[in-house]
Structure 1
């Protein structure tokens, strides 16, 4: 039986060029740079999907996140991974293709670094998040998310993506 730690990832350089492949567990343990997708999901009323990760997650267990997403598998495109991860985490089939917004290199300075592609998608379907991935979820208005930012412990890469997304939208105005 394979586990998430066995999933093969493309290892990339500082320019997002593939330089090798590694199992996810090894990539995490050795701090090898890989690729991830972050998908901001809103419902028909424009509320943001927010969830708390399960305690069994390999990275950032039990923390809150305002994105669904995950790692990009070896040979998989960012776009393919965005749709796959969004449908898996939301527990839906038939989601429209998430819209690519921008990409940035996340680096926490402590050995965690990955290229991060940020997307957005609207989900009008009833969600059934994976119990293995999501301990709690809700669709929250933006004002509620902003109010919770200092109160809840958020995944650091998701928080970095959220802050960059706010700047991206300000610049686009």
Structure 2
């Protein structure tokens, strides 16, 4: 089975399941589904940053400061966050990612309910070659300096700005 064949829950504006479709169909038709974004930091507090492979279905060759992906049909956000973090970082035995907030991401082409998490990864990473073409860990200041220089995934960039706003206000909500 290819990633495009994966079955996803299709959800409404309230994140209620209204049907199912393959990932390829959801992408092609702009059907709203569910995604997880996990900020992964190493033992020194640096953020895992990577460039997606050129053959990714969405945002190929873009940089991202989150690991994550789609939530499979019937899968919980929490389970998807752990699965995606371990898969993309190439590790096992991560602590369960800590949930932070949700929001509805919408662009002209895409719409998904997004659940944002954070996790500390003190294990040596071996990123998934099918997903990640290049990676490093950056300090917050190093990441900030690259925001205008690299082509970032738009959903990750929006998530990053919401996460920064939440931390600045420490309100516990970014919606």
2:161 counterpart of 1:163: yes
With the length of structure 1 as denominator, give the TM-score of the two structures.
Answer: 0.98
Structure 2 counterparts to residues 8-27 of structure 1, below 5 A: 8-27=7-26
**Distance in 2 between residues matched to 1:171 and 1:148, nearest whole Å:** 23
**Distance in 2 between residues matched to 1:169 and 1:98, nearest whole Å:** 17
| Count of residue correspondences | 171
- Post-superposition Cα deviations, 1:3-28, rounded to whole Å, max 9, x if no partner, equal 00000000000000000000000000
- Post-superposition Cα deviations, 1:45-103, rounded to whole Å, max 9, x if no partner, equal 00000000000100000000000000000000000000000000000000000000000
Structure 2 counterparts to residues 12-91 of structure 1, below 5 A: 12-91=11-90
Quote the residue 2:147 is aligned against: 149
Structure 2 counterparts to residues 110-149 of structure 1, below 5 A: 110-149=108-147
Q: CA deviation at 1:111?
A: 2.8
Q: CA deviation at 1:170?
A: 1.1
**Distance in 2 between residues matched to 1:111 and 1:54, nearest whole Å:** 20
**Unpaired stretches in structure 2, ≥5 consecutive residues:** none
**Unpaired stretches in structure 1, ≥5 consecutive residues:** none
**Distance in 1 between residues matched to 2:149 and 2:168, nearest whole Å:** 24
SS at match of 2:38: strand
User: Structure 1 segments of 4 or more deviating over 4 A?
Assistant: none
**Distance in 2 between residues matched to 1:18 and 1:94, nearest whole Å:** 30
**Distance in 1 between residues matched to 2:109 and 2:135, nearest whole Å:** 29
**Distance in 1 between residues matched to 2:110 and 2:154, nearest whole Å:** 11
**Distance in 2 between residues matched to 1:19 and 1:92, nearest whole Å:** 34
- Please tell me the root mean square deviation across aligned C-alpha atoms, in Å: 0.7
